Structure 1
Amino acid sequence: MSDQKDQGPVEPAHSNETSVNETEHNAVRRRRAIFLISASVALIVVGIATHWLLSPRTKIQPTTRPSVPVSVSVATRQNVPVELTGLGAVQASLTVGIRPQVDGTLQDVLFTEGQDVKKGDVLAKIDPRLFKAALDQARGKKAQDAALLVSAEKDLTRYKTLALSDSIARQTVDHQQATVDQLKASIAADEAAIDTAQTQLDYTSIRAPSDGRIGIRSIDPGNVVHVSDAQPIVILMRIRPSAVLFTLPARFLDDVRSALAHGPVVVTAFDQNNRRALSAGKLLLIDDAIDPATDTMRLKAIFPNDDERLWPGEFVNARLSLKTLSDALVIPSTAVQRGPQGLFAWIVTSKDTAEPRPIEVGPTSGDLTVVTSGLRDGERVVTDGQFKLKRDARVQVRGTSPRSPTSEGAR
């Protein structure tokens, strides 16, 4: 029993040793984990630092804004013509439809299409035989009545002599006098019939009523023509001189009337592209009434057209010169901007910065606009690149327009 008592305490001592070993093992594991975590954190920090130092995005960005590239022009003074331009059409100064004035067969056509003719030239002929016969008949009737008149006048003379001696009644003399008067009236009617027949015969020769140019023939010889025909034989036009009928807004009525009151108003006809001048003329008249549907007025200008550069039916731009503004301050129209407060222009200061400037403008002449206030002669205005500008923004001038651009016309 003593042996058994001596073996009892051995088991607790082994259990304590196992616990100590497990504690030491856990401590080693914790130290190893802490070391790995610390090493990982150190590597991450080193990586982030290296990336921050080497990355180009870490470079300091400039705080100043880049300059805005713009094109500018210099405000300058010059004489500016005040002009108005309206779309119009060329008209011949005279247009005549050559029609027959008597019915008959178109016998001959004596013109060539496109030919220039003079007033009185014979253009065509209608068969004259019926009209010549009518003229001969009228002449014969006159001759007959003239012979009867001679006999009646002789009888009247004899009756008057006999009446003096009371050989015949006074009633016979009066009756004979009436016969003479009747024959004289018949002769007068015969002369009128002769004139009518002669005129009808003359109408068989169709003549040019004016100088002009013949167009395209619409009726050929051999056809029977009538006075009531809707289609003329041919159209004759006089294009020297020619007229231009054009329209302008009615708000310019007073300006145009004032210009007419001071003398002839020059009108220049330009082609449809408004680039090439065709002819120069003068304003002839303003139409009597304004069109209320379009609020426009019609005007007519006359052109000598000696070189025939204006052609009937052609559309042209009629440029009307009202007056000339002397020493007016002008800038390109592209420099004029519209904002909430009205019109303004971007000015380039001496420090090459942008500044918006309120302006007031006058008439526009071609690509130029007259400035009545807000600018001074020699100031630079921005003509291109305005949409990127802000007040006091720095600008880079990439082009300068000429001081005095050529004016091509006014509106």
Structure 2
Amino acid sequence: MSNQCIDVTKKRTLFGGNLKYILGFVIFILLMVAGIYWKKISTKPAVSYSQWNKPVPVRITPVQRNDLDIEIKAIGTVVPAHIVNVQSQVSGVLQRLYFKEGQWVKKGQLLAQIDPAAFEVALAQAEGLRQQNLAQLHHAQTELLRYQLLFKQDSIAKQQVEQQQALVNQLKGQMQSHRAQVHAAKLQLSYTKIYSPIDGRVGFKQKDTGNLLQANESTGLVTITQVHPIYVQFAVAEHHLMGLRESLTSNHQLQASAWDKAEQKQLAIGHIQALDNQIDLSTGTVKLKAVFDNRDDRLFPNQFVNIRLSSQIIKNAVNIPSDAVQHGAKGSYVYIINKNNRAELKTVKLGLSSKGQVEVLDGLNGTEKVVLEGIDRLSEGKEVNIISDQQSSRFVTESAAG
């Protein structure tokens, strides 16, 4: 019995010693974890504060003061100089066509023939009536001369002479009418031949031979477009109007160039021919028309093209890259770098822009340097680190990744 008590006492002693050891080890681990955590949270604000005060890498560019060529861009539609819907002026059967679809024709070139038989008959009838009337007139005039001679001999009454004179006058009037009928018949006969009214290119025919053409039919026979020269109509914002008017009234041609849709290939060079007489209130734009020689036929009717034109040259203009300009609640602004290498926010008033440059009307004097890259990280008074153009691409990549 005593031996059993001794064993139990030993076990309790051993268990109590182990428990103290385990508790001590756990407390040690917890203290070590707490120390590591405290070190992390105590040093993190210092690191964050250090990163916030680190100079911001930026790329700068000097403000320019030079002549600024204002280039206007617009989308235009190519319009032929003339477009004619060739119609028949008389009704008749289409006998023959003298053109091929799509070919070039000259003004006065024969295009088609309408059956002339009925018109030739009408002309012959008119000629016959005129000849008949002419014979009657000659006879009446001869009789009048004879009556006048007899009247002088006191052989006939004056009334007979007057009646014969009236007959002659009546026949002269009929003669004039018949002559006009002959001219009308000849004119109608001439209309059986259809000629091109302009130089140009013919389109697809609307009638085949053997069909009956009606006079002044709306569909017509064929359409002809004159494309030498050719026009492009386009619209620009009304704030360009003053500069355009000054250029157009200075007795020199305002050059315009036409480009393809991708603006990669120049199609033609021409000049502004006309400015519309009013502003479109619904769009706030004014229409212009440019003319192009188009001898190489690179411009086609109803084609959409991009138009570029130099509207004016602003002398000694203060200007900066458009990418340097930011927009906020107080308007447009830029960041400049002062002599202490710190950023300063400058509110600016902008003018016209062209080719990536924008005119600065107020806010800069032309001696500053504006921030072009790294603007999104800047604030008033922020210290900067100016990078070179060679470092710019790497900076942009790192900024995007950050």
Common topology (TM > 0.5): yes
Give a deviation string over 1:42-101, Cα, whole Å, max 9, x none. 663377448857999599564522554555444334432123333221111111001100
Note the C-alpha offset of 1:376. 5.6
Amino acid at match of 2:303: E
Distance 1:184 1:266 in 2: 63
| 2:263–2:306 contact (8 Å) kept in structure 1 | yes
Among 163, 169, 172, the alignment partner of 2:160 is: 172
Give a deviation string over 1:245-265, Cα, whole Å, max 9, x none. 212233433333233222233
Among 44, 50, 61, the alignment partner of 2:27 is: 44
**Larger-gyration structure (1/2):** 1
| 1:281–1:301 contact (8 Å) kept in structure 2 | yes
Distance 1:50 1:259 in 2: 79
Distance 2:374 2:221 in 1: 63
1:97-112 equivalences under 5 Å are 97-112=85-100
Moved more, 279-288 or 310-319: 279-288
Please tell me whether residue 152 in structure 1 is matched to residue 140 in structure 2: yes
Note the C-alpha offset of 1:195. 0.9
Distance 1:50 1:151 in 2: 144
Note the C-alpha offset of 1:142. 1.3
Distance 2:18 2:266 in 1: 95
Distance 1:112 1:119 in 2: 16
Moved more, 225-234 or 68-77: 68-77
Note the C-alpha offset of 1:194. 1.1
Note the C-alpha offset of 1:351. 6.1
1:127-276 equivalences under 5 Å are 127-263=115-251, 264-276=253-265
Distance 2:134 2:33 in 1: 140
Among 33, 44, 50, the alignment partner of 1:64 is: 50
Identity %: 33
Please tell me whether residue 382 in structure 1 is matched to residue 371 in structure 2: yes
Moved more, 266-275 or 98-107: 266-275
Q: Taking structure 2 as the reference length, what is the TM-score of the superposition?
A: 0.82
Task: Look up the match of 1:329.
Answer: 318
Among 381, 387, 392, the alignment partner of 1:397 is: 387
Distance 1:335 1:148 in 2: 97
SS of the residue aligned with 1:119?
A: coil
Distance 2:389 2:85 in 1: 60
Q: Say if 1:39 and 1:135 are closer, same or farther in 2 by CA, change over 3 A.
A: closer
Distance 1:295 1:283 in 2: 20
SS of the residue aligned with 2:361?
A: strand
Give a deviation string over 1:160-190, Cα, whole Å, max 9, x none. 1000111111111111111111222122111
Task: Look up the match of 1:361.
Answer: 350
| 2:60–2:386 contact (8 Å) kept in structure 1 | no
1:19-38 equivalences under 5 Å are 37=20
SS of the residue aligned with 1:290?
A: strand
Give a deviation string over 1:290-320, Cα, whole Å, max 9, x none. 3232232222222222222221101123333
Task: Look up the match of 2:298.
Answer: 309
Q: Taking structure 1 as the reference length, what is the TM-score of the superposition?
A: 0.81
Give a deviation string over 1:108-140, Cα, whole Å, max 9, x none. 110111111111000011001111111111112
Moved more, 329-338 or 231-240: 329-338
Mind listing any 5+ residue stretches in structure 1 that lack a counterpart? 1-24, 402-411
Mind listing any 5+ residue stretches in structure 2 that lack a counterpart? 1-8, 393-402
Distance 2:282 2:42 in 1: 68
Backbone CA RMSD of aligned residues: 3.4
Task: Look up the match of 2:4.
Answer: none
Note the C-alpha offset of 1:31. 13
Among 103, 108, 129, the alignment partner of 1:115 is: 103
Task: Look up the match of 1:20.
Answer: none
Distance 2:365 2:13 in 1: 85
